[in-house]
Structure 1
Amino acid sequence: MVYDGPEFTSIYWPNPDDTIWGNGRTSYYSSRVASFNDIGTFVSSDSLEFRCLDSSLGVKRRLTMDYDGNLRLYSLNNSSGLWVVTWQAIAKQCNVHGLCGRNGICIYTPDPKCACPPYYEPVNSSDWSRGCKPNFERGCNDSQFLKLPHVDYYGFDLNYTRNVTFNDCQQLCLGDCHCRAFKHVIRGDSWSCYTKGDLFNGYNMADDSLYLRIPTRVKVLEVNRIILNVSRLACGDSKVVLLPNSYNDASTRSFKWVYVYSFGGAIGTIEVIILVASWCFFFRKHVISASLEEGYHILTTQFRNFSYDELKRATGKFNQVLGKGGFGAVYKGVLADARVVAVKKLENIVQGEEEFWAEVSLFGRINHMNLARIWGFCSEGKHRLLVYEYVANGSLDNHLFSSSNNSVVLEWEKRFKIALGTAKGLAYLHHECLEWVIHCDVKPGNILLDSDFEPKISDFGLVKLCQRGGHGLSNLSQIRGTKGYMAPEWTTNLPLTAKIDVYSYGVVLLELVKGTRLTSCAVDDSLGEEEVTEFSTFVSLAKTKLQDGEDSWMEDMIDPRLEGKFSKNQAAKLIEIGLSCVDDDRNKRPTMEAVTQVLADCRDETATVDTPSYV
């Protein structure tokens, strides 16, 4: 997608910072052919592909370039007559170019709004696409620089220089009358300098600062703050406009007139009875639709920003600890509306407040039966908290690895249900979300179980909050207590993909079958290689027995506490899939979508089947 404005033109989707290959595209086609099928999947000849959230037949859809520059796919809800967004090209609205015009800055509060930098004012406060203008006259010889923390403008670099000091970078800008600002940042292993000729597509970011050029006669404020203004992104009133279903209305009216003229005179009495029955039927239907619509409204408005004092009261000053993990402690609480919640206090958050709001707002829109629902968040001063639904049965590790003599052994049916549900949740994150999410921390402690032992994956997206900007091994220490579930590529310079979650899922799958923790690295790193050897031994033994085709090979692999009460067919599948998932070569690991399909196919089977193949 391209912003084509009166002053400049720029590409903003797919990501212009990526290469053609990085965006999943190719330049080997001279033409483009695309199709959009009946279940809501878009596929093109240059490998661009996306799918809607409600992938199914019989749904009316439309693909629309909206007024705010975002491409969205809408599905029609027949009961309410509303068009619902089921896919959008750009998750963060501030990544759309041209929204705030020249010199303007797009920020999250948490909704996207436009702002002007200090000593600038809107050209037209009712039309932010015209941007901001300086309230001073520009000069070339009498300049100083104003530091704007966490601000950047995309593109329009006059100069890019590596291995340069801050003073030299400043002099580069001062020596060019066209330079409006400069950045001095670390790129790779050296300091780099960017000088800006024009200031378009401004946005808030977690790191780095921009140095804005202003006259020396302007008195610099001690505390530099971006001046917020009413944004044009809030488009008038918030009234919902129901789009008419003219095809339904017209056909209904036509049918009623034909009915009246054709049968009215002959069967008048029956007509009255039918009309009364029809009226009752439609009245009942509308009542149900209204209640459903109200239910949807409640569900979609529960995600919100909580105050710290509100969560402090809800948790009784954080006195009931449910658990503690690598991202922080979790406390039980009760909200004012009587909902029982789990409140997680996050640690090591490196993002600014606005960007944190934007990220967790995305998590709030993620909704799947096998993902722990996030009700809201708190971002107040130094405090960063997330509010989850409370899941009654705790985490999987408490049921699977409990050493208590009174603990109940997890039945086979529940284990298989947990394996399938966890696969569904990860497949949703990898393949169906509006924004692609890699969990990065799949382990039994992050798989919660509700009252029916339906699994719910928690902590998805937290690595993205705590590790933004991290590279390679430098930040692995921040992911504490989960080294036993990490894929080999964590220790290399390979880019991390969804296949790291597949590896972690494979470890969990084998532990579900065995009933013991195959590696204690998640508990105590001081044990070193001894526990890693146990996992390697189990994998090696399982592969050998599987290849030899021994009749009794599964007896040594299955949790003895089950006393033989398990499906041999399902156990074989879980072991085969688990071994495939923990392959050192990530290209040989299956996708979670393929795993889900294989497990779903053998959910009700009892006979032995062939080894599955993956794509």
Structure 2
Amino acid sequence: MGISLFFFFLFMRLFAEINGGSQDDECKASRCSHHGPVIRFPFRLKHQPEHCGYPEFELSCSEEKRTILELPYSGKLWVKEINYASQEIFVHYPDDCLQRQILNFNLSASPFQFTGDTDDFSFFNCSENKTYELSSIPCNFLSSNPVYVTSSFRSLAKVNLSSCRKIFNPTLPYYHTYGGEYDTFMNWSKPMCGNCAPIDKVLVPTEVVLGFLHFTFGILIIFIIYRCNKLKREHRINVQKFLEDYRALRPSRYSYADIKKITNNFKDKLGQGGYGINYKGKLSNEIFVAVKILDDFKGNGEEFINEVRTMGTIHHVNVVRLLGFCADGYKQVLKCEFLPNESLDKFIFSAFGNNYSLGWHKLQDIAIGIAKGIEYLHQGCDQRILHLDIKPHNILLDHNFNPKISDFGLAKLCSKEQSAVFMTTAKGTMGYIAPEMFSRNFGNVSYKADVYSFGMLLIEMVGGRKNIDATVENTSQHTSQNGSIIIWIKTRDRPSMKIVVGMLEGEEGNLVMPPNPFTSMGQTRTSVRRRKTSIQPELTVISEIE
């Protein structure tokens, strides 16, 4: 940028100098008197530089403040008017002797010529009086004998010219033949100037113009080469930066020192989850990331393995991307894309205030996005992924409030042909865990556990409050409060997430209520009641092997 400005100002400086430099001062218009003609290009005064006008257009000011044009071999003319538009000057010739005028007035090499009607005249020097036959000239310049003039087109057959000698045969305006002082118009044409070229009404020698053009062309070539090289360097830098960013966007392994550098030594804390603390980091000026430091005392590394194994293969607009990880000794770190609007729970629960409320249309868009993300996990990958912890806190929002599913620490992988998964403990968050996670009396654990959790999330989005009171500590009280919801929802009655997406988008027509699970008021209800009263805090242990 600096070199470009340098060349630009250098070019403008040189152009200004060739364009007259201080032309406003040296070549400015002037007059010899207040009533005299304006003198400007192509005329110039004697004291002005030669580049201010054409050659032979030099004027001077007399002592009487008259504008004088001095022509070679023709004497001095008093310039009374200058018409630049028609290229004419109105001049006065002070000599009253026509013979001397004709002898001195030579316009053959001058850019100025007479205007108006002209004629060819013949001048004779006669020793005898010819007054009655020819017009006489009042002054004698060459000899004492009288001088006579006549038009060259006049017939002289009847004139006795034996005593006369022809001395001039000029072309003059007819009124010049009377002699005395006279005024006349003369016009000018562009003079021949073999070594000059006009530039914006300033005469500059051709060598200077060519030198300037060569110099300017050379500077232009240098600038073009410099600019091309600069663009090539910028392109290479852009490619390198893209490759660096591309590598940064793929799941890569980092050292703990790299993680500290990315997070600026863990300066910006985003929040804390059940398995670790989240920090904000930066890979470059354009890419921000979220860095999750996993708790050493929770999960025994299982969450770390689940996150890397599942998120590393997922690429969906509604699923958070895993960009990298760190496994340095006991330190386990996950690096994911950064979502500026944080989690969904901040916007749907009244406890966070009305300032974060979202409209119904936006809530519907968010619900559809979450459903599509879950449906992708179930059907869009090589293996089916069960998230098993769908809740508002694990739904992150980008700058446009597009939802992305995060936190795959409890996820399980299974083949798409597998109808049930083996589990030894009930995983998830109370209030969102499907009932079959506690007992297979409600059905086998399958991908429909995420369908149940998504339904609970929808209820919270619509109601604007949590489905479970977090202040209740007893697990049996949790179950009792939500029994009216979870008891009748059986696995076989739940639709797939593909059907759920169609429901939310209005493609499924009239919605059908699920069947009543209580087909009899006897054994089933007694069994359920017995099941409710026997639930203990140790419910997370499942004795049945499925």
TM-score (norm 2): 0.43
TM-score (norm 1): 0.38
> Which is higher, the Rg of structure 1 or of structure 2?
2
